[in-house]
Structure 1
Amino acid sequence: MRARAHWPVSLLAALLVGLLAYGLTTTGNDTTLDAATASGERVPPPTQGTLPVLGGEGSGSLADYKGKVVLVNVWASWCEPCRDELPLIEKAHRMMSARGGTVLGIDVKENSGAALEAVDEFGLSFPNLRDRDGSFVREWGQYGYPENYVIDRQGMVAAVRRLPVTQRWLDETLPPLLDEPS
């Protein structure tokens, strides 16, 4: 009788261990990107596919910015931390534009009307693409909002920020990359 009472606990423990193991082995590219960039290594982007232009015609991709430093900003208009960082992202775009770089926004899984309202509200001048189903950013190991990836002039991922940016992070990350030769 005693062994019978313990089987639900044993089953629950086995299930939790299995879920933990699954989670640790299916985190996508985020651990690769994070570990590489944290150690100073630069790695190719997981995907360079094309996405539709937010609120416009045509499509765009990272390949369109070959030879430029690109801050890829993954955001959504309903995300408060995203909204909080948008003024800093716009400021970074203006600085980068003057130095041969750009910001590329990727709006994820939302109504394009809501995203366009945020673009207008914050006066965003950088290009934005739309990832309708989140498949593009999933390839990058995206698991939250906002997320930021910095691509160097050679098209390699040089930095990853999976939290809202700070002015300090932008100041420490972008200028050295913008100063590198093409």
Structure 2
Amino acid sequence: MASKKKRRLIVRTVILTVMTAAVIYTLYANFTKDSRSKVSAGAMAPDFILEDLNGNQHQLSSYKGKGVFLNFWGTWCKPCEREMPYMNNLYKEYKDQGVEILAVNVGEPEYLVNKFVQKHDLVFPILKDKNKDIMNMYGVFNLPATLLVDPEGKVIKVEEGELTEGKIREMMESIKP
């Protein structure tokens, strides 16, 4: 009988310890998330290489000399879906003026992304961040998120949330070389 009580006490102690550790970690993560490597305006944009849906590699630093509209998005994100047609239309207008859109899909199966791209007839590069490494490197927590990178590679603006067509135009104008 004493053996059962001792085992129960040990199990309860282990469970309590694990739960306490989980609560401490959650509190730590929430209180420090803003200070963890979040890329902000004025910083140089961290370089990365991602593959697009056609298997071509895109390295951010290879766009030096162009303004880059770097957008993080997901197919499930309704605000992302609403802003995509605006981005597509303005890309057609600004791509010959030295502005590039790199739309980084975060962690979704290629099938879903392809279906979304076909549905919206998107013509700008769609990059795959399968493990959300780039999203985490940039400190992006909410989608959609857009960073404007000037022709020298410096982040000049970070915008979270849905963008209107007018706002996207204004942003593209600001990064034109």
Q: Return the TM-score normalized by structure 1.
A: 0.76
Two-structure CA RMSD over aligned residues (Å): 2.1
Structure 1 position 18, deviation (Å): 8.4
Alpha-carbon distance in 2 for matches of 1:85, 1:24: 31
- Identical counterparts, % of pairs: 23
For residues 61-86 of structure 1, give each alpha carbon's deviation from its aligned partner in whole angstroms, at most 9, with x where no partner exists.
21221110010111111211111110
Equivalences, count: 155
Task: Choose the corresponding residue for 1:76, options 62, 74, 77.
Answer: 74
Name the counterpart of 1:52. 51
Structure 1 position 60, deviation (Å): 1.4
Alpha-carbon distance in 2 for matches of 1:18, 1:98: 48
SS class of match (1:102): strand
- 1:38-117 map, 5 Å: 42-45=42-45, 47-54=46-53, 56-117=54-115
Structure 1 position 24, deviation (Å): 2.7
Native 8 Å contact 1:92 1:103 kept in 2: no
Alpha-carbon distance in 2 for matches of 1:53, 1:176: 26
Q: Give structure 2 stretches of 5+ with no counterpart.
A: 1-21
Alpha-carbon distance in 2 for matches of 1:78, 1:132: 15
Task: Choose the corresponding residue for 1:25, options 32, 35, 47.
Answer: 32
Alpha-carbon distance in 1 for matches of 2:72, 2:30: 23
Greater gyration radius: 2
Structure 1 position 16, deviation (Å): 8.1
SS class of match (1:137): helix
Structure 1 position 20, deviation (Å): 4.9
Alpha-carbon distance in 2 for matches of 1:78, 1:22: 25
Q: Give structure 1 stretches of 5+ with no counterpart.
A: 1-14
Alpha-carbon distance in 2 for matches of 1:135, 1:17: 24
Q: Return the TM-score normalized by structure 2.
A: 0.78
Alpha-carbon distance in 2 for matches of 1:80, 1:90: 16
